[in-house]
Amino acid sequence: MGKPTGFKEFDRAVVPSADPKLRLATFEEFTLPPEEGHLALQGARCMDCGVPFCMSDTGCPVDNLIPEWNDLVYRGMWREACDRLHKTNNFPEVTGRVCPAPCEGACVLGIHEPPVTIKNLEQAIVDRGFAEGWIVPRPPERETQKSVAIVGSGPAGLAAAQQLRRVGHRVTVYERDDRVGGLMMYGIPNMKLDKRVLERRLEQLREEGVTFVTGIEVGRDLPMEHLWQQNDAVLLAMGATRPRDLPVEGRELAGIHFAMDFLRPNTKALMDHGYTLEGAAADHLSAKGRRVLVIGGGDTGTDCLGTSLRHGCASLVNFELLDPKPPERAPDNPWPEFPQVFKVDYGHAEAAAVFGQDPREFAIRTKRFVGDDAGRVCGVETVRVRWSRDDEGRWRMEDVPGSEERWEADLVLLAMGFVGPEETALAHLELARDARGNVAADYGRYATSAEGIFAAGDVRRGQSLVVWAIAEGRGAARAIDEFLMGESDLAEPD
């Protein structure tokens, strides 16, 4: 695929981002518009590798036809590339922006050279598709008169909704927030995923005939039993939104918040006030002038860093419990597994530009939150930890004697991931659960222990990636279509 010798001739070059200090003046997306010639050369680096591991189980969960659209971009056949991209992915404009790109980790070229810039190419293809008017609504050719209720409008619910609607089922999506999109809308900051990008895709779903009901929390405002009785099938796709807590002394102090209680109102305020930086600071928790401490080193933690910097925080520290990852693959992390290597994400680069150093402190454990006389957090006491393996190869953590420290902070954000689905919608359903409390439903069938109720995405598999949620939504749509019609023309997932 691509130019046969392209991987020898051209170096990997990612689409550049705006200068970290300059981009902090706005919540606009920080990547710069790529040049077509740049993208063509990057597409040319795709090898005729025989077995494209980028499409394997360790690569792309939605089975994107990556070598095909890499080659089409190289040849300047953008519309054909857009068509190929949409054969497997309902929302490439989302994955092209926020996915950690396991496809690049599995790229065969990546064994001995930097991999192909697959993620950049994916975003460029779909953005051009919208700009050229190639992406249009595809309403069904016939109606089945079958109805499906979907609880949750994140990537799993929306992917399933679009697939089911396109084969003629009546689809209603229920969302408890005031806007559709789940964590794609309110959990991912605008500078990483512009909400106008998401809204243009949602408009396509509306024009195809998907019905959205917002401001309704199933299980509280609307009984789940009602949906079950009034529809031919129900899909649970409400995610795994119960945050992991940190139950140490002082947790009850004011000024300690879960990450989503910080990120969600920020994005809502930004949208409500016309996408201005001033609007983002209105009517919600702000980090302006605060000494911010973020506990948790994943994507959500990075989003807290970037948002705090745009508010104008006074200082910024990020705790990670684990050791820093190595600069290159470790022996127990071989290709084509996802590369567990040290990375500098956008929030880390921005913090370094403002405060002169990477904000992360590794191998550190929070022991106690310290409060002032008013009952507000003013500091955090920590200890350094040492990681080692026991005789059976399991990781073991121990405190390092004499490494106790105190950190000043008056805003603490907990970004340690999620532990499972909330119970509101599930409380009155006697559904089987797995060992972690997720709704039990076999991958590929997505059927729960209750007839006609299906589950997909994080509510079934636990906290995971947007691309996995899309894959599960598409798979669940096929399973539901088969349940309703006896067979399905929807694509069968691997």
Token duo for residue 226: 């009602």
Q: What is residue 283's predicted lDDT score, i.e. its pLDDT?
A: 59
By the 8 A CB rule, do 59 and 489 touch?
no
Which position has the token pair 């950690």? 100
Cβ(307)–Cβ(262) below 8 Å: yes
Would you give the end-to-end CA distance of the chain in angstroms?
A: 23
Q: What is the pLDDT of residue 29?
A: 96
The architecture that CATH gives domain 6-132 is: Orthogonal Bundle (1.10)
Tokens for 279, please give them: 């609007």
- Helices 195-208 and 155-166, interaxial angle, to 10°? 30
Residue linked to tokens 């992360």: 360
* DSSP result, 463-485: S--HHHHHHHHHHHHHHHHHHHH
> Domain 147-242+419-485 belongs to what architecture?
3-Layer(bba) Sandwich (3.50)
- What single letter denotes the amino acid at residue 151? V
**Chain centroid, CA 133 distance in Å:** 26
Q: Where are the beta strands (DSSP E) in 355-433?
A: 360-361, 364-371, 377-389, 395-399, 405-408, 411-414, 418-420
Q: Determine the 3-state secondary structure of 110 from DSSP.
A: helix
Please write down the HEC assignment for all residues of 211-270. Answer: EEEECCCECCCECHHHHHHHCCEEEECCCCCEECCCCCECCCCECEEEHHHHHHHHHHHH
Could you tell me which of 411, 362, 405 has the C-alpha nearest to residue 381?
405
Domain residue ranges of the chain, discontinuous segments joined by +: 6-132, 147-242+419-485, 245-416
- 299-311 helix and 259-272 helix, angle to the nearest 10 degrees: 50
User: What string of pLDDT tens digits covers the 494 residues of the chain?
Assistant: 568 899 999 999 999 999 999 999 999 999 999 999 999 999 999 998 889 999 988 899 999 999 999 999 999 999 999 999 999 999 999 999 999 999 999 999 999 999 999 999 999 999 999 999 999 999 999 999 999 999 999 999 999 999 999 999 999 999 999 999 999 999 999 999 999 999 999 999 999 999 999 999 999 999 999 999 999 999 999 999 999 999 999 999 999 999 999 999 999 999 998 887 776 666 578 999 999 999 999 999 999 999 999 999 999 999 999 999 999 999 999 999 999 999 999 999 999 999 999 999 999 999 999 999 999 999 999 999 999 999 988 999 999 999 999 999 999 999 999 999 999 999 888 899 999 999 999 999 999 999 999 999 999 999 999 999 999 999 999 999 999 999 998 987 65
**Distance of alpha carbon 256 from the chain centroid:** 24
Token pair recorded at residue 268: 């809502």
Can you say whether the dihedral through the CA atoms of 140, 143, 144, 149 is positive or negative?
positive
Model pLDDT, residue 493: 63
Other CB atoms within 10 Å distance of the CB of residue 105? 22
pLDDT tens-place string over residues 261-294: 999 999 999 999 888 777 666 657 899 999 999 9
Confirm if 460 and 160 have CB atoms less than 8 A apart.
no
Query: Is residue 186 a contact partner of residue 199, using CB atoms and an 8 Å limit?
Result: no
The answer to whether domain 6-132 and domain 147-242+419-485 are alike in fold is no
Give the pLDDT confidence score for residue 56 in this predicted structure.
87
Report pLDDT for 305: 98
Nearest to 304 by CA among 341, 267, 272: 267
CA 363 distance to own-chain centroid: 25
The pLDDT assigned to 75 comes to 95
Nearest alpha-carbon partner for 192 in 36, 28, 20: 28
Bridge partner residues of 432 (DSSP): none
**Owner of token pair 């990057």:** 42
14: tokens are 């990612």
Instruction: Return the CATH fold of 245-416.
Output: FAD/NAD(P)-binding domain (3.50.50)
**Model confidence, pTM:** 0.95
Residue 375 C-alpha from the chain's centroid? 35
Concatenated DSSP letters of 343-358: ---HHHHHHHHHHSS-
> What pLDDT does residue 275 have?
82
State the burial class of residue 122 (Cβ atoms within 10 Å of its Cβ: 0-12, 13-18, 19+).
Answer: buried
